[in-house]
Amino acid sequence: MRRLLVTLLVLPLLYYRATAQTTPTAEEVLDKYITAIGGKDALAKVTDVTTSMSSEGQMGAIMITRKQKLPNKFSMVINANGMEVMKQTGDGSKIVMGGMQGNSTTLEGSAAQQMTAMNVIFPELHYAENGVKSAVVGPEKIDGKDTYKLSHTTTDGSATWTDNFDATTGLKVQSVTTTKNARGEMTMTSVYSDYKEVNGIKFPMTIAQQSPRGPMTMTVDNVKINKGLKDSDFTVK
């Protein structure tokens, strides 16, 4: 009886040790992802990226153009049937968001931290220098695949978001973000698939999003790297 009791007490400890040994650290998961999409050396040579995407929505054909420039500038313009319906521009410290009514909102300070950190070129490569802290939440199944779920937190702790990375390939398969605005909180889930190489670096060519606004699947039509984007492209007024 005593031997059985000892065995029952030891089993949870052995399970904990086995789990700790098989679950990688957040740094290891991020390193595997960076290696999977091309490696640090290749990614470090990228100074700007322009991504053109398309989709179909209630307003018809949707065209999305996203520009990113080191160290932390970005913009995104959404056109529906040839008409600009939304624009975001970040200069590294402030973000201006505008809609088709002409109204605009400016985010500064902690309110702009999360969006800026997530829109840096290959953000995972720069999390440490931008003060983003990452932790492994644990293993999680996504569409039947084994993944490692990571939680990320901005420097001041004001915002968190999560990413899931395929345990086998290392590629990112899902992101969940929650943003705050005057209307409250909005959670968006993005699923990444169909990775293909552009200049030796892998990008997801299909991005399926789910938000309170409804589902939207975006197809990446082309990715242009190091085209010499200017700082003036990201002026915030």
Predicted confidence (pLDDT) per residue in 4-19, tens digit? 444 444 455 544 444 4
Amino acid at 112: A
CATH assignment of 32-234? 2.50.20.10
Q: What is the mean pLDDT of the chain?
A: 88
3 vs 65 pLDDT, higher one? 65
The residues facing 46 across adjacent strands are none
pTM over 0.75: yes
CA angle at 8 for the pair 3 and 14, rounded to the nearest 5°: 115
